[in-house]
Amino acid sequence: MISGYDQAERALNAVQLFSRMKVEQANEFVFASDVSACASLQAVDVGKWIHLQSMVLGYADVSFVSNSLVSMYMNCGGVVMRCQCL
């Protein structure tokens, strides 16, 4: 559902749905989609929180989640955070 919202350019709906679900229920696909939605919204603070949660659950090392994180930080101007993400 979150991926569908993101692909349909309804990023705010994707972020809102993620915030209502339990983080433990999320998988790597949910994290990648929601990070992408944060990039679309320029919501770097929310994206940082999602980044932290993905690290806690071990999804930040999944290649497509990492790619989404790098893209988000690039789109939001977070050069320092982008480097730390790599």
Give the closest residue to 54 by CA, choosing from 64, 41, 43.
Answer: 64
Q: Which residue has the tokens 């919202």?
A: 5
pLDDT surpasses 70 at 57: yes
Half-sphere exposure of 69 (CA within 13 A, CB side): 26
Q: Which residue has the higher pLDDT, 15 or 75?
A: 75
Task: Indicate the pTM of the whole model.
Answer: 0.71
Mean pLDDT (whole number) for 61-70: 92
